[in-house]
Amino acid sequence: MHSFPGIRNLLLAAALISLLASPPASRAAENPAHPSRGEAIYRKLCLECHGDRGQGVRDKYDEVLEGDRSIESLTRIIERTMPDEKEDLCVGEDAKAVADYIYHAFYSPQARRSNQQARVELQRLTVPQYRNAVADLFATFTWRTGQPKADGLKAKFYNSRGQREKNLKIERIDSTIDYDFGNKAPEGEDFKPEEFSAWWLGSLIVKETGDYDFFVTSENGFRLYVNDTRTPLIDAWVASGGKKEEHKESIFLLAGRTYSFRVLWFKFKDKSASIKVEWKAPGKAREIIPQRHFTTASSPTTAVISTPFPPDDSSVGYERGTSVSKLWDEATTAGAIEAANFAVDQLYGLARTKEGAKDKDERLRIFSTQLVERAFREPLTEEEKERYVFRHFQETDNDQSAIKRIVALALKSPRFLYSNFESDPPSQHDIADRLSFALWDSIPDDNLFRAAEKGQLKTAEQIRAHAERMLRDPRAKAKMQGFFHHWLMMKEAQDISKDEDAFPGFDDRLMADLRTSLELFIEDVAWGDRPDFRRLIMDDYLYMNQRLAEFYGVETKPEAFEKVRFNPEKRAGVMTHPYLLSTFAYNKQTSPIHRGVFVTRNILGRALKPPPMAVEFNDSKFDPSLTMREKVTELTSPKNCQTCHAIINPLGFSLENFDAVGKFRTEDNSKPVDPSGTYTTLDGKQVKLSGARDLARYAAESPVAQHGFIEQLFHHMVKQPAAAYGPETIDQLRDRFQKDQFHLRKLMVHIAVLSAEH
């Protein structure tokens, strides 16, 4: 079924509804007949160039008046620069009155939130939500492995090329698959050097969505199975005649899940025996698959939709499903067909019946009905059962054809593709839907669906109990990890390279290790015993393996990743993690500007306007004796640069004790590093910084930074503007956050419950 014109019309209609539902323009002045002193002066002296709400006037001053400066700072700017060429007309108390009016009427973040009459928008599933929803739709009919324990793979060795139980000699758990026996046999048992075999069985733990490259190197026969127990991903059962060869295949996998993993291998009359299994995960370097990604637990086959989709809209700072294009429509059609083929391939297992069984027809109808109900996230009426399920079995004698039609029709329906159809008050199934997409980016599981059916999601306590249960699922970890990747701009570091002469040993493998180090640190904080937001910015340890320890000059030389503590003055959480310090730096030198912009926007949650004119940093144009701090100070000295760089530079300078790869240093260009500076807060206060620790301490305790973190997390989880849930939403969440001692997982629950009840 490649064409669904009726459904396409419904999708276009839904898109039109979304456009018509856009928020209205900002409201006018509340009492124009009796303006305040500041408003009256603004109308007289400023309105001609800046517009009635600071929106700007074409050919006059077309920049919007919005930002996060304090009233005191705005007053000083008005006294110096406004009105243009008549600066003496608005000074002293007049300037202060105008600044106060501008700040509270439309300039400050609080004013903009109050003016935004935002509403929850009708949106389609994002690409990750679509893929997760399809995977979980079919997982409803199998089983889940729960929280996987990373304990390795089951391994069995046989003294024959066939895996017969009578020939089993060794049974154990292996952490990796990396063997080179040469011309010998495994030691300690009755093995014949010319003939023996092994298999490894368990599941693969995947924490990031993307394409995974698998490499198997061996001169012997083998088969590798990933997420499929019947068809191997790599089939080299017919060996290459004793010549060691590398075999490679790729597969697309979803984060927060485990996938069945099996390797069968044998030696028969070959001169030597070896096998090595490696992978290249998204954003990582090629490596032997480590134990932390293996579990001995079994896993069912997961429905992974690999159809390419156009990217989601990210223009507002977070991904959302607002665009309905021809490409997206075609992708959902291809995805529906891919899902239908999966259903047919796994049909009798999913329906829990067999070909020729007496109850086959009944079981197929029950399965199909439940599948459509789960896709729509609510029970079907008798009329809907006839339309979406029963008639397709009546129109064909071929079960597989009927199933394909049912699956494709369900997955092309707006009831599957859109996640937030509104009802007032929300139904029990609406609440379940919102809760599951907030925490999992996916459809409700069986427990949540049944709770909605029974009316057990009526109170905040009932909803919270389910949210806390769902938080223990690996899919919640995957969603939170996606947020941290966004918050810390980890996608920016895909192609970071450093000068080989300046930093020998800093290669793709080391950068991949740094990424793993950062991910392990975040996971330890967010999912450990003390999930305190402030620890993300303040803790003084890193996860390091032997390669990282040697490069960064650490005495401890752990084989695998372990915690390594540092002098608290030399490390402070994500603020000084070498992965981020390397990302926001040049290939030979630091970049206080890049680091300062990152800290300003992402850590401190302050807005920065794009520079009026981009100025390229050209190192060759500076005196070679200058430090990086001196070069940046010279580059950003013009007055029109200082509007933003007065904020950016002190933050970037505070990290100058760390070079371009995040190593601690005390000198730059043979001069002492000066990490001191003065940062001006939103309310005009001066914060003295003497280095990274001072910056981290301020950021961890800053209400503005906490506010920004909460707002970004809200948008990532809910995919809706926070203002749509009330102008005080973020402030209220921050109050709860503070009372909960900045508990990250409790914050996730608060956000999920709030969005579900709205």
Pairing of the two strands 195-206 and 153-158: antiparallel
Query: What residues have CB less than 8 Å from 722, skipping those under 6 apart?
Result: 113, 711, 714, 715, 729, 730
Residue 520 has pLDDT above 60, yes or no: yes
**What integer pLDDT is reported at residue 613 of this predicted model?**
61
**What integer pLDDT is reported at residue 30 of this predicted model?**
40
117 vs 22, residue with greater confidence: 117
630 vs 240, residue with greater confidence: 630
Q: Which residues pair with residue 452 across a beta bridge?
A: none
Q: Is residue 559 one of the residues assigned to a domain?
A: yes
**What integer pLDDT is reported at residue 182 of this predicted model?**
94
Q: Is residue 541 one of the residues assigned to a domain?
A: yes
Residue 203 has pLDDT above 50, yes or no: yes
- Window from 116-120, 569-573, 616-620 with minimum mean pLDDT: 116-120
Q: Is residue 665 one of the residues assigned to a domain?
A: yes
**What integer pLDDT is reported at residue 26 of this predicted model?**
35
Does residue 258 share a domain with residue 187? yes
Q: Is residue 138 one of the residues assigned to a domain?
A: no
Average pLDDT of the chain, as a whole number = 90
Does residue 175 share a domain with residue 78? no
**What integer pLDDT is reported at residue 65 of this predicted model?**
86
What is the rounded end-to-end Cα distance, in angstroms, of the chain? 37
Tell me the pLDDT tens digit for each residue of 423-439: 778 899 999 999 999 99
Among candidate residues 701, 721, 745, the one where a domain is terminated: 701
Q: Is residue 422 one of the residues assigned to a domain?
A: no
* Most confident of the ranges 16-25, 519-528, 604-613, 683-692: 519-528
Tell me the pLDDT tens digit for each residue of 278-332: 999 998 999 999 999 999 999 999 999 999 999 999 988 899 998 899 999 999 9
Does residue 157 share a domain with residue 104? no
Average pLDDT over residues 734-739: 97
Q: Is residue 622 one of the residues assigned to a domain?
A: yes
Query: What range does the domain containing 254 cover?
Result: 153-295
The structure's pTM equals: 0.87
Residue 662 has pLDDT above 60, yes or no: yes
Quote the number of domains for the chain: 3
Q: Within 10 Å of residue 506's Cβ, how many Cβ atoms?
A: 23
Does residue 176 share a domain with residue 41? no
723 vs 18, residue with greater confidence: 723
CATH number reported for the structural domain that contains residue 106 in this entry:
1.10.760.10
Average pLDDT over residues 265-269: 94
Among candidate residues 59, 93, 115, the one where a domain is terminated: 115
Does residue 222 share a domain with residue 111? no
* For the chain, percent of residues with pLDDT exceeding 70: 93
Residue 33 has pLDDT above 90, yes or no: no
294's enclosing H/E stretch is strand 294-295
Does residue 98 share a domain with residue 164? no
- At residue 7 the predicted structure's pLDDT band, cuts being 50, 70 and 90, is very low
Does residue 289 share a domain with residue 212? yes
Does residue 291 share a domain with residue 173? yes
Residue 28 has pLDDT above 60, yes or no: no
CA angle 91, 93, 94 (to 5 degrees): 60
Does residue 59 share a domain with residue 200? no
**What integer pLDDT is reported at residue 325 of this predicted model?**
94
Contact in structure between 350 and 367 (CB atoms under 8 Å): yes
* For the chain, percent of residues with pLDDT exceeding 90: 71
Does residue 506 share a domain with residue 636? yes
Does residue 270 share a domain with residue 158? yes
b/e burial code for range 361-383 (CB count within 10 A of at least 16 → b): eebbbebbbbbbbbbbbbebeee
**What integer pLDDT is reported at residue 113 of this predicted model?**
65
CATH number reported for the structural domain that contains residue 233 in this entry:
2.60.120.1560
Helix (H, G, I), strand (E, B) or coil at 247: strand
Q: Is residue 639 one of the residues assigned to a domain?
A: yes
Query: What residues have CB less than 8 Å from 644, skipping those under 6 apart?
Result: 608, 609, 611
Q: Is residue 615 one of the residues assigned to a domain?
A: yes
Tell me the pLDDT tens digit for each residue of 538-586: 999 999 999 999 999 998 888 889 999 999 888 999 999 999 999 999 9
Query: What residues have CB less than 8 Å from 543, skipping those under 6 apart?
Result: 516, 517, 520, 521, 524, 561, 562, 563, 564
- At residue 612 the predicted structure's pLDDT band, cuts being 50, 70 and 90, is low
- The answer to whether the Cα torsion of 577, 578, 583, 584 is positive or negative is positive
**What integer pLDDT is reported at residue 32 of this predicted model?**
44
In angstroms, the Cα distances linking 486 to 29, 159, 479, 522, 713 are 37, 51, 11, 13, 10
Among candidate residues 701, 728, 747, the one where a domain is terminated: 701
- At residue 64 the predicted structure's pLDDT band, cuts being 50, 70 and 90, is confident
Does residue 569 share a domain with residue 496? yes
